[in-house]
Amino acid sequence: MISPQTKLKASLLKLQKKQARFYFDISERFRENSLVCDKWRAIGTGLERQVEVLKELPLSFWKALDRREARSLLKAVEAALDSDRAGILEQDPLRQCFVKCLDFEEPVILEIYAPILRNLKAHWTDRALDWYVLVRSHLTRLIQLIEPFCGDPALVHRCALLGDRFEQALQQPPVQAEAKQGSVRALRKARKSARRAPAGAAGARKRAGVSKTVARREALRPGQHRIPKSPKPLIGKVRLRRHPV
């Protein structure tokens, strides 16, 4: 059975190729407007660069991902691959293309790119900067495309807000590995057990003393009672001094 970590890289490469093709298709849709066409094409070219950087990540990075987070990432990637939001119709106006673009980009950036970058920052700091620059450049190109040509303040605000949400998502801590969490729980359980039971030689002596007491009680014949030892006198011996007669 293929692990989610192994499957994730191949699925993510497939998604980024789909993203690039999405922007190249839009550029052809507006090829009569060279300025808009070039901006759409520049976004697709930037995504092709992301594909190359993603291929360079070592296999050990993917294997080190927590299984729960890998499954969550894989689910988000597969949802984006199955999404029909990346389809552009011939009759779609420019504003509708912007809406479809943001509908497609938001879950990808927040649910896929941000968690991957968090893990890179935690364990592969030398690769984190390259990935961060690529994603930020991608967001910047989106803003530079939508702001001057959209004409809808709400859509412009939504695009700018995506950049802020991406930065906030990067501040969240990466998910800890399941094995580490399990070992911590086992350690806490062992410590609790150690506190409850007497430890070392003192505990052994205490347990031995209890066993001897039980054995002496069982050795008494029915009706026989053990005579208790004399209690320690409350007052010690008093010496009387003799006086001369």
Q: Which of 121-135, 192-206, 210-224 has the highest mean pLDDT?
A: 121-135
Which of 97, 117, 114 is CA-nearest to residue 26?
A: 97
| CA dist., res. 4 & res. 195, Å (int) | 40
> If we measure between CA atoms, which residue out of 73, 63, 174 comes closest to residue 125?
174
Flag whether pLDDT at 103 surpasses 80: yes
Residue 234 has pLDDT above 50, yes or no: no
Instruction: Give the pLDDT of residue 111.
Output: 94
| 156-201 pLDDT per residue, tens | 999 989 999 999 999 887 655 444 444 445 445 545 554 554 444 4
201 vs 118, higher pLDDT: 118
Does residue 64 carry a pLDDT above 50? yes
Residue 36 is which amino acid?
Answer: V
* Lowest mean pLDDT segment, chosen from 16-30, 118-132, 192-206: 192-206
Residue 64 or 224, more confident: 64
Identify the residue with better confidence: 134 or 123: 134
Least confident of 46-60, 157-171, 207-221: 207-221
The pLDDT assigned to 71 comes to 92
Domain ranges of the chain: 4-178
pLDDT averaged over the chain?
A: 77
